[in-house]
Amino acid sequence: MRRHDLAWRSLGAAIVAAASVLKFSRYGDATAMPAFCFGLLGILLMIQGRRVVAALRVELGRHRLLARIRRRA
């Protein structure tokens, strides 16, 4: 595992830890849904690492529609 990938996985673990603290805080009922969403994001980063970031970069980029536009022309 490369250092860059390990950094993304560590960030995922930190997000899961922060979501756990947020869920079990004094205002746990009001923050349950955001904590759950952050927890899922953290677990995804812990498992997949930098591939999640690469997939998001492709999905959010402008070039993902290029193949569809070329087929129409």
pLDDT digits (tens, 9 = 90+) for 6-63: 898 999 999 999 988 888 887 767 888 888 888 998 999 899 888 887 887 877 777 7
Nearest CA to 31 out of 42, 20, 40 is that of: 20
Contacts of 18 (CB under 8 A, 6+ apart): 38, 42
> By the 8 A CB rule, do 14 and 59 touch?
no
pLDDT of 47-73, one tens digit each? 988 888 788 787 777 776 766 776 765
CA distance 73 to 65: 13
User: What is the pTM (predicted TM-score) of this model?
Assistant: 0.69
Instruction: Give the three-state DSSP class for 15.
Output: helix
> By the 8 A CB rule, do 4 and 45 touch?
no
| Per-domain residue ranges of the chain | 3-72
